[in-house]
Amino acid sequence: MSIGIISYNEEKNITNILNSIKWQYLGKFSLKEIIISDDSDDNTPFLIKEFIKNNSQFLIRLFHHNRRRGASSGWNEIFREATGDYLVLYDADVILEKQTTYNLVNGFSSEIGLCAGNPQPIKIYNIYGRATKFISTWLQNVRKVGLTQYLVMGRGLAIRQDLAKVITISENIIAIDYFLQLKVLELNKKVIYVDNSKIYFKTPTNLEDFLSQVLRANFGHKQLSYFKTKKLSFVTNLKITLKSFLHDPYGGLATLYCYFFIPYYKLNTKHNMLSKWKIAQSTKG
C-alpha cells in the first residue's frame, strides 16, 4: 500500500503523523511508500527531511512546493505518484490509533473502491470544541445509516490505486472528499464507512475558525449539487439530530450558539469561496 499525506505549514504536526504511521499495525498488508505533498513556508520540509534521514527503512518521497496550491493539487500529485495497490490518504494534522490503517484497508473487496475512516475530535477545550464534537457525533450517526453525501471525510480514507489513477480533481473543488466519493460511484464501485478506523483531529479554539470550517463544508457540497446522488432525507436528518442532542445536550446548545453567528460572519468576513480557503490556524497547534 501507499500512504499519502497532505501538508501545509504543519511544523507542529508532521512528526506526529509520521510517527503514527511508523508504528502502525498492518497485518497482511505491507507499506510500500509514504508520499508527502507539501506547500509549507515554515520549517516543515526540514523536519520531514530529518525524519527521512533517521528512518531509512521507509521509502518516503517529499514533493515540496513554495506556494500554496490547494488540497486538490496535493491529492492529484499523490494519485499520480502512488504505486501501491491501495492508497491511504491522511491530513498531516491528525493522530492515528495503532490499527487505523489496517482497519481502513482491510475493508476492501473487488466491489469496493473506497473506504472512509471515522474522524474523531480531541482536545476539546471550550464551546467551539463542544460544538465540533456534537457535529462529529452527528456525522458518525449519519454514516452508520448508509451511503450519504457525508460519508467520506478527507482527514482519512483509502482508495484503490487503479481508481485513483483515472480521477483528476479540479483545482476549484472544495469538497474534494465528497467529489472522490462521487467519482468512485461513477466508476461502478462501492463506497463504505469503516467505523473502527479512527482518525483523531484537533478542534477549533475560536469562533472564526469554527464557522470557516462549517461554511467551507456547506459551500463545498453545494458546489457539487449538479451530481445526481442520494441525499440525506429530512426525516432521517431530524431523527439523527434529536438522537445526537439527547446524547449530548450541551454540545447541541453549543452548536446552536455558534450557528447563530453565521449570518454576521458572512456579512463581516471577506472569506474566499475557493479551494484555497483560509486555514483554520487554531487546529494546527
The pairing of beta strand 60-64 with beta strand 33-38? parallel
Per residue in 221-244, pLDDT (tens digit) is: 888 888 877 778 889 999 999 999
With 80 as the cut, is the pLDDT of residue 268 above it? no
Tell me what pLDDT residue 257 has: 97
Q: What is the CATH number of domain 2-273+277-281?
A: 3.90.550.10
pLDDT band for position 148 (cuts 50, 70, 90): confident
pTM of this structure? 0.92
Tell me what pLDDT residue 228 has: 74
Cβ count within 10 A of residue 96: 22
Helix (H/G/I), strand (E/B), else coil: 1: coil
Tell me what pLDDT residue 31 has: 97
Q: Which residue's entry shows cell 479551494?
A: 275
Q: Which residue has the higher pLDDT, 230 or 99?
A: 99
Helix (H/G/I), strand (E/B), else coil: 96: strand
Instruction: Give the residue-averaged pLDDT of 209-218.
Output: 89
Tell me what pLDDT residue 238 has: 94
Q: Distance between CA 246 and CA 253 in Å, rounded?
A: 11
Per residue in 113-129, pLDDT (tens digit) is: 999 999 999 878 799 99
